[in-house]
């Protein structure tokens, strides 16, 4: 659970230690002090112990084995897979089975599962545990994608707490000693808040922890996360750890969230896209140290090449490089002239192409301070959440949603 802050591949020779300059600390974090000794104790999720209370958020198409490996090289924590659909896993869909794989070196093996039917969720968990494929299972109840919620899935499930409880109960019973956690949003919109019910269900049904993304499904990723909802949930859920998710862009943000809300740990999503060293910064501030400056481009180039190589080994070179293109835009965001330069990056098809494209920028280019809080990934906008006709008529209905509510998309 406590790998070193850097791997042998990404050698510290590339990145000499240097305490962070003031220009890399956003105004909102000025004056935030590193953790005091004993201020944030280790968090237990069942038998798993997190000395650094940080979790990588499951992100569809992103948190696969190669990305988890790159992030893990920078610090300890819990690194969760992208979302795996229960029905497809039970039916042995080849793509789903591939996405659920872990490398032999990964430990603990943390997988996020998504399902809308207690029967299939139970069967999927039973299979994963029987085959000794996981050490932790997280259930997704936060997906706000329209084609999911309009069928009654994702963030719509907590609207019906009995259905939610049935799904969670099936997972916990099938998991045995493997800890189960759940992740959810505040609710559908400002008028339909469900996080209190979701937290209660998680605690009552035997979950090892719960995590709240402090936005509604209607908000998607827009605006600022409502950390006060995390504080409210922590007051209600007293017997298991509560993790907070939303707007962790700098290591200091995690300390602010935990001090303001009393939550037990943080979940990091978009803040680490193109910036896997955020986990090193988090480890530093939790251990009472000042973080280091972001790396210069020479080191970022090495991270990018390593990430792309891992994707190529896992998916095959062409598909791996296609998958890497979005990461390339995140790694280079904000560098001078990068908007035009990225046009070559989003056309690469081989590792050699990538190496040539990356040689266009000087190794000593400094990471731009204005990119510290630049939003990456999902678009920041609001939406009107689609629900099935009559879905709100009976909040105590336990009927599983249409199987079409299972999808490979996730945005919890």
Which residues are the active-site residues? 143
Sign of torsion over alpha carbons 160, 166, 171, 172:
positive
| 411 HSE (CA, 13 A, CB side) | 22
Sign of torsion over alpha carbons 366, 372, 378, 381:
negative
Q: What are the CA-CA distances from residue 71 to residues 5, 52, 54 (Å)?
A: 10, 14, 12
Count other C-beta atoms under 10 Å from residue 373's C-beta.
Answer: 14
Q: How far apart are the first and last CA of the chain?
A: 25
Phi then psi for residue 175, to 5 deg, are -80, -25
Which segments of 106-250 does DSSP mark as H helices, in order? Answer: 118-130, 146-149, 161-175, 195-204, 227-236
Place of tokens 């299979």: 127
125-134 long-range Cβ contacts below 8 angstroms, 24+ apart: 125/86, 125/170, 125/171, 125/174, 125/175, 125/178, 125/180, 126/174, 127/89, 127/90, 128/89, 128/100, 128/178, 129/174, 129/175, 129/176, 129/178, 133/100, 133/102, 133/109, 134/109, 134/110, 134/178
């Amino acid at each position: 659970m406590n790998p070193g802050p850097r791997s042998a591949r990404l050698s510290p020779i590339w990145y000499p230690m240097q305490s962070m300059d003031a220009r890399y600390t956003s105004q909102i974090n000025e004056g935030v002090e590193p953790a005091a000794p004993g201020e944030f104790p280790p968090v237990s999720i069942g038998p798993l112990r997190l000395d650094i209370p940080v979790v990588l958020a499951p992100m569809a198409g992103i948190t696969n084995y190669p990305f988890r490996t790159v992030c893990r090289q920078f610090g300890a924590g819990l690194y969760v897979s992208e979302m795996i659909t229960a029905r497809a896993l039970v039916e042995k869909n080849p793509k789903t089975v591939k996405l659920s794989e872990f490398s032999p070196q990964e430990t603990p093996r943390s997988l996020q599962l998504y399902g809308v039917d207690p029967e299939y969720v139970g069967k999927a968990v039973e299979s994963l545990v029987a085959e000794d494929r996981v050490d932790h299972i997280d259930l997704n109840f936060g997906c706000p994608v329209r084609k999911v919620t309009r069928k009654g899935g994702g963030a719509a499930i907590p609207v019906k707490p009995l259905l939610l409880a049935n799904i969670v109960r099936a997972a916990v019973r099938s998991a045995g000693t493997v800890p189960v956690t759940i992740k959810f949003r505040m609710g559908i919109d400002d008028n339909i808040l469900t996080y209190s019910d979701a937290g209660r269900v998680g605690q009552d049904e035997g979950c090892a922890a719960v995590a709240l993304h402090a936005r509604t499904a209607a908000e998607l990723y827009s605006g600022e996360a409502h950390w006060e909802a995390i504080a409210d949930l922590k007051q209600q859920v007293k017997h298991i750890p509560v993790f907070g998710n939303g707007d962790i862009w700098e290591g200091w943000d995690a300390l602010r969230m935990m001090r303001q809300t009393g939550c037990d740990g943080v979940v990091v999503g978009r803040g680490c896209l193109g910036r896997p060293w955020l986990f090193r910064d988090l480890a530093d501030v939790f251990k009472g140290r000042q973080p280091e400056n972001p790396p210069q481009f020479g080191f970022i180039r090495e991270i990018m090449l390593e990430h792309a190589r891992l994707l190529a080994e896992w998916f095959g070179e062409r598909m791996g490089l296609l998958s890497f293109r979005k990461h390339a835009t995140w790694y280079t965001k904000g560098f001078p002239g990068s908007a035009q330069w990225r046009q070559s990056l989003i056309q690469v098809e081989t590792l050699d192409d990538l190496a040539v494209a990356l040689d266009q920028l000087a190794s000593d280019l400094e990471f731009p301070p204005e990119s510290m809080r630049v939003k990456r990934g999902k678009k920041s906008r609001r939406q009107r959440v689609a629900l099935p006709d009559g879905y709100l008529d009976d909040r105590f209905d336990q009927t599983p949603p249409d199987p079409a509510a299972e999808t490979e998309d996730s945005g919890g």
